[in-house]
Structure 1
């Protein structure tokens, strides 16, 4: 595809994903030789209407110089005129090239960088050339059958075959938010001023993403375990996803899978690897093969990151508040917080489960910063990124955006923070948006 046409598709990706009706284009794209039936079947299997639109646009960019004008013509033929005009941008209509008989026979072949008498009189015209095989002059003359061959169609890469999770159930799934703000005096942990701001943002955000949201406040160690157990015993069969969000103080612990732990308001900490085990395929069969997402706003330890110097062009300065606080506790080695002798549903000997993503507000071992008035850096930016990009981007891409923006903040003009995630998802994950929940896919 012409680079300028790729740019047009990329610039208009958001309205295309929102409004495109792929099912009305399949016959035309197949008839014009842009896609094969196998490719169209793969697009149809990618999920919701928006998932199919994303896959179609991604594949379209790889289908040669005829793909863009044929796509525009298909939009016109299907009555999707606003999108066709959007792509043309006021220019004269692009006329699709009429395929020759040879093109009709081999619609997926790509032109090779060789010249041939067949294309001298028609510059720019796509022809599937018959290419002579070059052989050393001292070799015997080959038989006529082996002298010429038709080039094979390009192979689809592994990246092209990445699927998307099914995310069209309504509601999409359960979202549990545990918000620990006020800690008991004997816990030796400060109250987390500003955490209610985080909680309110995330409750509204995940409701807008079509989740059933339950908020639990100021839970002790055993209460955290109880709520996770209750969640794991629910029947998630009607749903496509499950989300757990924990806002609390955190600490670094010994681990063999997922680092970190979060504190109950009474002091003891629940290791993150125990938290994820509640929803893995063995303990929650109705979530097998479905994405389980965990968002942890807590410190990963007590170390403060002062960062390193870079060129001013490398960052966009963004200064945190002078009163920013941390959610840190020193590293715990207490056998009580790690004991599994009475917890058969959280054995550390289970294999690492699939379809799980754990997003941490900070790198393991380091503190996480929170403003008493506007909430934590991580949640504020996560909420903003979801609001602006959930329509068009997958979750992993959006978390990379979060990482970049948070990394540019500074606490007290000195300290930095770097979020990250442990990703065991097998497919791309696109959230539902409010407009998706209101219109059929």
Structure 2
């Protein structure tokens, strides 16, 4: 598809997701060679009407040059004239054939070349109707845009990614652990501003139709107990599970997921242990369902002073000079941390499928928090979810969070780079009220 047509679809994605009725388009898009039957089946299985509309538009961008005008033609034929007008506004003129009985919709029969019987079998398996081409010298589409490009062993390639089912009501459970006040013996400072983060996350995930439970100032043992309780819930009627951890953190040795999160008693729990509570072995009712972990905690004690970039790349946002970090005290190191829970630490994910762990900062570095406004990461995450949940999948939104947080600057010097470990197998779109 031409780049300007892709931009038109992207610009109007909200209108398309809100108003498009994809069920009326499937037969026409299949007959005109825009989609294959496999692709239509995948779109139909993506969920609600909104999910199907979103998947259809996303897949449409991967098709050939004629996909956009044929899409407009199908909208016109099915009476969705308002969307046609919106998509044509400001776009280069696209000629739409009137939907009349004289429209040539039958395949044009052409003789097959003389080829071997094996090749004949391969070719006839994927014969598509051949339509009149307006420009006889139009170049052959590239393999990536061919509507039925053969894949291995003659099977059609799948050019789309499925969506997770996310239409249960409620969608699932969300556990928020907010550690603010730490015991004196822990030698960890109180995390002023964390309540602001907690309130934002609680409000945001309630708006996304989750059952939200907040637990405050938990010791390591209590964190494990809360996660164990969550894992024992029957999640069969739900589609997703979310855990958010707001605490001090540190860099520790790991097998899969780096980092550790502290209880208010100064004892830590490794991130890979946290994820283990909800894996397929320990929580069977969440098998095949997305399990999301959001961690506002330092990955270590190192401070990032950044590096110089070109003026076009730099859009600095200088944050407060009173910003604090969620790192362990400088006098401690990851090598000197207690390993009293080593037996539990040996448990590991057999397969980390359907898990996403989003970190507020790169492993080994501090995470910045404003005592009044809350942390950079949660503030930005909440803002991005608020603005884009209706139209973008989670991975794309987290990349936007990475970009925005990376442009902040603490005390005029220090930087922060969030990131995520993504083992999801499908795209994830949250429920929204719009």
1:22-37 matched pairs, under 5 angstroms: 22-37=22-37
Counterpart position of 1:219:
218
Shift of 1:190: 0.8
Counterpart position of 1:10:
10
Counterpart position of 1:94:
95
**Are the counterparts in 2 of residues 72 and 94 from structure 1 also a CA contact under 8 Å?**
no
TM-score, normalised with respect to structure 1? 0.84
**Are the counterparts in 2 of residues 70 and 96 from structure 1 also a CA contact under 8 Å?**
no
Partners of 2:82 and 2:49 in 1: CA distance? 18
Partners of 2:408 and 2:158 in 1: CA distance? 33
Structure 1 residue 355 corresponds to structure 2 residue 350: no
Shift of the 30–153 alpha-carbon distance from structure 1 to 2, 3 Å rule, reads closer
Counterpart position of 2:341:
339
Counterpart position of 1:154:
149
Partners of 2:354 and 2:429 in 1: CA distance? 14
Counterpart position of 1:147:
none
Counterpart position of 2:70:
70
Q: Which 5+ residue runs of structure 2 have no aligned equivalent?
A: 111-125
Compare CA radii of gyration and give the structure with the larger one.
1
1:199-210 matched pairs, under 5 angstroms: 199-210=198-209
Shift of 1:70: 2.9
Counterpart position of 1:423:
422
Partners of 2:245 and 2:235 in 1: CA distance? 20
- Per-residue CA deviation, residues 77-109 of structure 1 (Å, 9 max, x unaligned), is 333222121112178773238546445898857
Shift of the 349–385 alpha-carbon distance from structure 1 to 2, 3 Å rule, reads closer
Secondary structure at the aligned position of 1:226 is classed as helix
Counterpart position of 1:266:
265
Moved more, 394-403 or 86-95: 86-95
Moved more, 320-329 or 37-46: 37-46
Shift of 1:430: 1.1
Secondary structure at the aligned position of 2:312 is classed as helix
Shift of 1:311: 1.6
Shift of the 362–61 alpha-carbon distance from structure 1 to 2, 3 Å rule, reads closer
Partners of 1:216 and 1:246 in 2: CA distance? 10
1:29-428 matched pairs, under 5 angstroms: 29-89=29-89, 94-96=95-97, 98-99=103-104, 101-103=106-108, 108=128, 123=135, 153-155=148-150, 160-329=159-328, 330-333=332-335, 336-337=338-339, 339-341=341-343, 343=344, 347-428=346-427
Q: Which 5+ residue runs of structure 1 have no aligned equivalent?
A: 112-117, 130-150, 436-441
Shift of the 311–65 alpha-carbon distance from structure 1 to 2, 3 Å rule, reads closer
Secondary structure at the aligned position of 2:241 is classed as strand
**Are the counterparts in 2 of residues 300 and 328 from structure 1 also a CA contact under 8 Å?**
yes
Partners of 1:25 and 1:74 in 2: CA distance? 6
Partners of 1:226 and 1:297 in 2: CA distance? 20
Partners of 1:75 and 1:358 in 2: CA distance? 40
Partners of 2:321 and 2:186 in 1: CA distance? 26
Partners of 2:369 and 2:69 in 1: CA distance? 51
Shift of the 59–96 alpha-carbon distance from structure 1 to 2, 3 Å rule, reads farther
Equivalent pairs, count: 403
- Per-residue CA deviation, residues 278-330 of structure 1 (Å, 9 max, x unaligned), is 00000000001111100000011111111111122211110111100001114
**Are the counterparts in 2 of residues 110 and 153 from structure 1 also a CA contact under 8 Å?**
no
Shift of the 49–263 alpha-carbon distance from structure 1 to 2, 3 Å rule, reads same
- Per-residue CA deviation, residues 325-360 of structure 1 (Å, 9 max, x unaligned), is 00111433457445243x4xx643542421111111
Shift of the 4–405 alpha-carbon distance from structure 1 to 2, 3 Å rule, reads closer
